[in-house]
Amino acid sequence: MRVLDELEREIERIAAFEGRVRPRRRWWRPGVALVALPLAVGAVAVAATSGVLSGEPVKNPPGTHPNPKSGLGVVVSAKMLGVRNADPDGGPEWGMRLVRTSRGFGCVQLGRVVDGKLGVLGRDGSFRDDGRFHELRPQTLQLPVCQQQDAAKNVFIATNWVGLPDSGDATACAVKPYKLNTRPLCPPGSLRTVYFGLLGPQGKAVTYVGPGGKVVRQAVTDAEGAYLLVLRTNPKRSNIGYFSSGVTPATGLHSVEYRDGSVCRIGNPRRLGGARRCPLKGYVAPKLPPVTHAELATTIRVHVGKRPAHPFRKRQQPQGVRPVPAQRRVTIVFRARRAADARSYYTITATALRRGKGCTYATMGSFSRDVAAGTVLSRTLYFPYRCHATLRIDVGYTQQRRPTTGPFPPEAFGNANVGQVFAKLG
């Protein structure tokens, strides 16, 4: 049993990370692990250099079927970025990966790094609190941050995440209680505020206010201009659980430096006029031919359901969310006169006019798949039965010449009008 005793001490040493990890958040429960080791010592993967126990990899959510011609597409290349940032409580560093997809998107994956691999830690509800490292592979696009590449294949992303579990798994525990939540609450002190992104080829460095109010400078890495900051989330913040993704930094950082010598100083978002984003330097706009209403105009048909319907099938019900009650189904159908792809796509906006209680003002969405000219497209929307209103339904065609808040925004630049129709609810 001397070997097991030595293994137990080694596991405890790694778990403690030289005393930097909080005792209440140990990676392993040695007593439990040692019971299983004699029976299945070959079943546990141990990283070659770090000695960290590894478990099953992160998987896409149930029902996810990546398609090269819809959604984000499928991953065609991946690059582990050189940027790293330590966690305030120690353990594996944080890192980023850039993946590129079949539909022209560049996506950033965020997580903890063990032996050059990106992943999450099994704690706080993630992977049944098994205390192991779980690899996030490039093909697993779970909660990525994506933007369309520009004409030179540059990717511009700026993301603020206030209240990310320090396991790196945003789907495991809930950062605060809310009515439909069924997940456990994240432990106090386990949340992180993370600022990360890609400034593009003109980015040089960022500065931020670190602990104690000191301004810290971080040079970007890689040709993509990658930056990554990880801080403890202030538990007194009122907006914990806040996620914001854009193209260039607007909040969180202190300043952004560019290779041409210019500096963008980021002000307080509460000032007059609100947050102002830094300039988009180095972006090469794609050349897209303009499209007119005459080329797009078509008949739009709407069917308002008379029987209760459920928005999700049983197997499609999101995990951790209580079932949504039956709703009124509204189906919109039209024929696409022009082809569409990831950068030029059809959109639908349903606005409730003269609405009563229980009505959402507007519902928007996009067709996020390749469409051939002449294809019949349909979209189903759901509204509470207590909602009585007149719907104004607008179908548009977006040509995304500049990056926006994320993939397929229905309000993107250059939205040409396809048609408009009205329908009554109730």
| Calpha distance 269→267 (Å, rounded) | 6
Does the residue 283 lie in any domain?
no
3-state secondary structure of 188: coil
**260 & 297 share domain:** no
**255 & 313 share domain:** no
Per residue of the chain (426 residues), give pLDDT as tens. 443 344 444 444 444 433 333 433 443 333 333 233 333 333 445 555 666 788 999 998 877 888 999 999 999 999 999 999 999 999 999 999 999 999 999 999 999 999 999 999 999 889 999 999 999 999 998 767 999 999 999 999 999 999 999 999 998 898 888 777 778 899 989 999 999 999 999 999 999 999 888 999 999 999 999 999 999 998 888 788 888 888 999 988 999 999 999 999 998 766 655 568 899 999 999 999 989 999 999 999 999 988 878 776 655 555 555 566 788 899 999 999 999 999 999 999 999 887 777 787 788 899 999 999 999 999 999 888 888 889 999 999 999 888 887 889 887 666 789 999 999 987
**33 & 83 share domain:** no
Structural domains of the chain, count: 3
| Calpha distance 298→373 (Å, rounded) | 12
Does the residue 117 lie in any domain?
yes
| pLDDT in the model for residue 230 | 97
CATH number for the domain spanning 297: value is: 2.60.40.10
**231 & 94 share domain:** yes
**225 & 120 share domain:** yes
Does the residue 159 lie in any domain?
yes
**DSSP per-residue string spanning 313-345:** -GGGSPTTBPPPPPBEEEEEEEE-SS-B-SSEE
Token pair of 319, please?
Answer: 């995990």
| pLDDT in the model for residue 10 | 43
**115 & 230 share domain:** yes
Does the residue 116 lie in any domain?
yes
Residue whose entry in the numeric block shows the structure tokens 């950068």: 343
Determine whether 290 is exposed, middle or buried from the number of CB atoms within 10 Å of its CB (0-12, 13-18, 19+): exposed
| Calpha distance 175→187 (Å, rounded) | 9
**106 & 217 share domain:** yes
Does the residue 11 lie in any domain?
yes
Does the residue 378 lie in any domain?
yes
**Boundaries of domain holding 7:** 2-43
Neighbouring CB atoms inside 10 A of 189's CB total 14
- What stretches of 85-126 show up as alpha helix (H) in DSSP? none
**101 & 243 share domain:** yes
| Calpha distance 347→186 (Å, rounded) | 37
Show which of 212, 247, 265 is a domain's final residue: 265
